[in-house]
Amino acid sequence: MQLAEAKAKFIADWGRLGTNWGINRTMAQIHALLMVSPDPLGADDVMEQLSISRGNANMNLRELIDWGLVQKVIVPGERREFFSAEKDIWKVARQIVKERKKRELDTMLPVLKELSEVEGDKRDRSVKTFTDTINNIRKFSEQADKILDTMIKADEHWFLGSLMKLFSGKS
């Protein structure tokens, strides 16, 4: 396969993957494009290569910056802004985990606590089923919270290495 074709396929697949994970297709595609670009690209490059409008490119680039996945790069002597993406997928994964945890898990935990304090007789089956389920989710979430915090701080070699070792040993 030629490079151009391979790039196009990667961008399309990464975009499709994104939509399965609640990320808009264009945002994922811009991310893919920047990940495989040897040099930072300008908004015009992104617009042209993905056939999207200026407004769209601008909004999604801003969103990617907001997620910490893309950075503005200043090229001396150039008026316009350039953009480049982190290429180390471990750092990308960690950054995504960090942001999603902040946006989702951290906001969910207080809600679960509130829901677990529902009024009513615990001998009532409806109440019991509800609180049991919520508490189960809550406990699970609290454990996930700690594990993800560790992962966010961890170094790739240590983290994945430890996991692999752990899982091959079944200790």
Partner DNA sequence: AGGAACTTTCAATTTTATTTGAAAGTTCAG
Partner DNA sequence: CTGAACTTTCAAATAAAATTGAAAGTTCCT
Cα–Cα nearest to 73, from 100, 43, 96: 43
In angstroms, rounded to a whole number, what is the distance separating the alpha carbons of residues 26 and 14? 10
CB of 134 to DNA, least distance (A): 23
Nearer to its own copies, 6 or 74 (CB): 6
In angstroms, rounded to a whole number, what is the distance separating the alpha carbons of residues 42 and 80? 7
State the distance between the two ends of the chain, measured CA to CA, in whole angstroms: 44
Which helix or strand (DSSP H or E) is residue 73 part of? strand 70-73
Which of its own copies, DNA, none has residue 122 at its interface (CB below 5 to 8 Å by kind)? none
In angstroms, rounded to a whole number, what is the distance separating the alpha carbons of residues 112 and 3? 49
Structure tokens at 126: 């409806």
Asked if 102 interacts with its own copies (CB under 8 A), we say no
- Beta carbons of 82 and 40 less than 8 angstroms apart: yes
Determine the distance from the C-alpha atom of residue 99 to the mean position of all C-alpha atoms in its chain, rounded to a whole number. 7
In angstroms, rounded to a whole number, what is the distance separating the alpha carbons of residues 107 and 103? 6
Q: Find the binder of its own copies among 78, 88, 106, 155 (CB under 8 A).
A: 88
Structure tokens at 121: 């007789």
Asked if 122 interacts with its own copies (CB under 8 A), we say no
Which of DNA, its own copies, none has residue 90 at its interface (CB below 5 to 8 Å by kind)? its own copies
Nearer to DNA, 2 or 20 (CB): 20
Residues 33-92 that bind DNA (CB under 7 A): 42-44, 51-56, 58-62, 78-81
Which of DNA, its own copies, none has residue 54 at its interface (CB below 5 to 8 Å by kind)? DNA
Asked if 74 interacts with its own copies (CB under 8 A), we say no
**Binding-site ranges for its own copies (CB under 8 A):** 1-3, 6-7, 9-10, 13, 17, 19-22, 35-38, 87-90, 93, 100, 104, 108, 111, 114-115, 117-120, 125-130, 132-134, 136-137, 140, 143, 146-147, 150, 160, 162-164, 166-167, 171
